[in-house]
Structure 1
Amino acid sequence: MNLATRFEARFGRTPAGIWRAPGRVNVIGEHTDYNDGFVLPFAIDRFTTVAASIRTDRTVRVSSTFAPGDVVEVDLEGLQPGDISGWAVYPVGVLWSLEQAGHRVLGMDLLLDSDVPVGAGLSSSAAIECAVAVAANELFDLGLTGPELVLIGQRAENEMVGAPTGILDQSASLLSSQGHAVFLDCRSQESRLVPFPLMEDGLTMLVIDTRISHSHATGGYASRRRSCEVGADVMAVAALRDLSESDLSEAAGLLDEETFRRVRHIVTENARVLAAVKLLESQGPRAIAPLLDASHASMRDDFEISCPELDLAVDIARDAGALGARMTGGGFGGSAIALTNNDDVGRVTESVTSAFASAGYTAPAIFAVVPAEGAGRVE
């Protein structure tokens, strides 16, 4: 049964259309976004799809194929952060965010489907937000641009969900193009597409989902953000984006040891993003492999957002022939990515799976992704 047919069965009418938005992997640039820094994600060929129609009242009815028969009803009138719990906060939060930005919207009927793994660090929440955002933008004839919708999604995530995230995830989902990564300056919000020709170079980007779930609304993410703010205050800069590697020796003398390591990760990670963009534009994807390895070491040792499962996935993937590997996403679980020659995909997959079994870990989900098109209407 297709999504339109399911929508009709659930809500008793035909949807006005169907829209979708992709999840993402972040090639490099972790936790740099909320420090006004640089990121390099690409949209993946895993999507959240929404069938949608406008209502004549102010009620939002939200349902999904992964919670059959469960319809959440929310009144937009007077809606405040904290009024909604559960997954419905993501789609309803977008409509709330549109209103906060001055756009009057009516209620909607929404039915969602998704093959973006939840909790895997692949931005399943932003895919929901962006699918609903492009649907609402079209149905209410708001005329908002991609970058404007990015900020709508971010506000929903920050204020309704309570997750202190930057604009990386929504930018990847909304601004991507097939065969490219998105180089994003999170301060100016300027972006440009960077060629990422995996297939043409005989390469596969493997995602290794550790099945260790994470949440951006919990304390680990927020505490890292606070450390970055403290580091910027002590170093008398607006954001850690304003520091270069030449400033680290001074920072070491002014900051406590833990805060210094947090700052060092952000500063060196920004440098790695800029280096990766130059290498992709001059030499291609193979050339960025050492930067992936260095990024993981920095997240493991300086920012301390890895976990044993992610470290094992990265180490074994490299040992089995991956050119470079790193955890991706906010950390504390989720997924790793491994840039791999096509001929080595089977060996990497088998080796990681076997290593997880030997360690007594839950079997990982391992699959290939390609740079996909950003959010838009499909029917």
Structure 2
Amino acid sequence: MYSMEAYRKHLDEGGLDRQLSLIHSCAGIDKSRERMRELLHCMLENFGRNELCFVSAPGRTEMGGNHTDHNHGHVLAAAVNLDCLAAFSRAEGNVVTIISKGYNPITVDISEAGPHTEEKETSAAIVRGVADGFRKLGLKIGGFNACVHSTIPAGAGLSSSAAFEVLVGRIFSYLFNDGKVGPLEIASVAKQAENIHFGKPCGFMDQMACSFEGILSIDFADPASPGVTRVEPGFDTQGCSEGFYNTGYRLCVIDTGGSHADLTPDYAAIPEEMFQAAICCGQEQAHGLTINRILEHMDSIREKVGDRAVLRLFHFIGEDERALKQAQALHAGDMDEFLRLVAQSGHSSSDLLQNCFSPSAPKRQPIPLALSLTELFLGSHGVGRVHGGGFAGTIQAYVHDSDFNRYRRSMRNIFGENSVIELSIRQPGNEFLTITETGTGA
């Protein structure tokens, strides 16, 4: 923990610039400094002049493996530069108080275990859930005060809730467990908090990507303890590069503004149809199925689950293999092959998985529109795919540097000024913004 004066001094002298450039971006250092100053002011106004520390937890982007995790498949995911940033200090007793810019303050007495019905779908439920998860693992918890500022847009498919869950877990780890709680434990606790306390039946990919950071190839064959391989890209990842490393491309998501309201049945139908179709083939999930085995049981699947279930199994098999090949292409530094696979993924989601618009509202198709415009505007200079759950929300695009500004202007004209969100990949190792004895960021 460090004094407020020490943080202010090193901010003014540029002693934290290196860390800020690694977790946010070089171009955004001025904004990062301002965020830290605002959080210091928030802590002083609300909690007094206490020793404190800063912690960050990133949002995430899905790069491959669209709707494969719930059927025990492979996913390629990455932490991004947009984050939840918090200043925090220890508090007496077992009360957690969090003040988040743009939200109502929350106060949670974490000595009371178990879900609280009145807290469902609130930030308080997440705090209580993470504390409960730590307790069940035999880990220590206690009260703390925090001021939080997030740059992750809510509802943009970048996992703002998972980032907040991981943030709370990192604070409990730092203050009460000597910082020794690992990323898998934090991710597992975060998922349980969202499932049980918050009341959202999410998968595990979001929390894993936010907690481990970097680019991850995740194997969900054992969903309780997924296998994680960190992908080391074969590109120049050193220095202060903007965009998607130094490949000549920018990575972004486009928020199409489509509403997720009333889409729960569409989301739920994807894993359910895969499960039911897999049962027709003699197993409980799609993982491990082959095209030949599906063909052998085609009549049974079509009769009991329908034609769409067959197509969704075809998507799963191809997408599961593709997520591994994408990781291999990145590791080899083969951007052409990687983009070819991204394009295949996009077509498979659209044609086979069929999660680009809701059949209950066929006139509302913002995702297919954004994908068609991306192809129209970029041609061979980029590629787009549906991002995350689908049906509404965001697409992901890799755009050549030479076309990015024009593409951004064009998409903003159609989907809104804040619709194009540029991302960079965040590497692990800078979760806590600390001060060394020499005065530079650790």
**What TM-score comes out, normalization by structure 2 length?**
0.77
Partner of 2:26: none
- 1:293-344 deviations in Å (ceiling 9; x for gaps): 2222332333332232122212211222242211112223222111121101
Q: Which runs of 5+ in 2 are unaligned?
A: 1-36, 236-243, 358-364, 435-442
Amino acid aligned to 1:64: S
Partner of 2:438: none
Question: 1:62, 1:88 within 8 Å by CA — same for their partners in 2?
Answer: no
Fraction of identical pairs, as percent: 25
Higher alpha-carbon Rg = 2
Task: State which of 350, 367, 383 in structure 2 corresponds to 1:300.
Answer: 350
What secondary structure, in the 3-state scheme, does the structure 1 residue paired with 2:153 have? coil
Partner of 2:227: 190
- Worse-matched range after superposition: 257-266 or 16-25: 257-266
Q: Map of 1:37-76 to 2, 5 A cutoff?
A: 37-67=73-103, 70-76=104-110
Partner of 1:161: 198
**Is 1:241–2:295 an aligned residue pair?**
no
Task: State which of 109, 112, 117 in structure 1 corresponds to 2:145.
Answer: 109
1:210 Cα deviation (Å)?
Answer: 1.6
Task: State which of 2, 20, 26 in structure 1 corresponds to 2:56.
Answer: 20
What secondary structure, in the 3-state scheme, does the structure 2 residue paired with 1:21 have? strand
**Is 1:253–2:299 an aligned residue pair?**
yes
RMSD between aligned alpha carbons?
A: 2.4
**Cα distance, 1:92–1:219 mapped onto 2, change above 3 Å:** farther
Partner of 1:327: 386
1:8 Cα deviation (Å)?
Answer: 2.7
**Is 1:84–2:141 an aligned residue pair?**
no
Return the alpha-carbon distance in structure 2 between the equivalents of residues 12 and 212 of structure 1: 43
Question: 1:314, 1:326 within 8 Å by CA — same for their partners in 2?
Answer: yes
1:81 Cα deviation (Å)?
Answer: 5.2
What secondary structure, in the 3-state scheme, does the structure 2 residue paired with 1:320 have? helix
**Cα distance, 1:366–1:140 mapped onto 2, change above 3 Å:** same
Return the alpha-carbon distance in structure 1 between the equivalents of residues 297 and 91 of structure 2: 55
Task: State which of 248, 252, 255 in structure 2 corresponds to 1:209.
Answer: 255
- 1:29-50 deviations in Å (ceiling 9; x for gaps): 1221121111111111101112
Return the alpha-carbon distance in structure 1 between the equivalents of residues 290 and 417 of structure 2: 40
What secondary structure, in the 3-state scheme, does the structure 2 residue paired with 1:132 have? helix
1:371 Cα deviation (Å)?
Answer: 0.9
Return the alpha-carbon distance in structure 2 between the equivalents of residues 342 and 168 of structure 1: 29
Return the alpha-carbon distance in structure 1 between the equivalents of residues 47 and 217 of structure 2: 40
1:215 Cα deviation (Å)?
Answer: 7.6
Partner of 1:173: 210
Question: 2:263, 2:391 within 8 Å by CA — same for their partners in 1?
Answer: no
1:346 Cα deviation (Å)?
Answer: 1.9
1:204 Cα deviation (Å)?
Answer: 1.0
1:169 Cα deviation (Å)?
Answer: 1.1
**Cα distance, 1:58–1:131 mapped onto 2, change above 3 Å:** same
1:20 Cα deviation (Å)?
Answer: 0.6
**Is 1:369–2:423 an aligned residue pair?**
yes
**What TM-score comes out, normalization by structure 1 length?**
0.88
What secondary structure, in the 3-state scheme, does the structure 2 residue paired with 1:191 have? strand
Question: 2:252, 2:423 within 8 Å by CA — same for their partners in 1?
Answer: yes
Partner of 2:10: none
Return the alpha-carbon distance in structure 1 between the equivalents of residues 389 and 255 of structure 2: 13
Return the alpha-carbon distance in structure 2 between the equivalents of residues 138 and 21 of structure 1: 13
**Is 1:271–2:321 an aligned residue pair?**
yes
1:19 Cα deviation (Å)?
Answer: 0.7
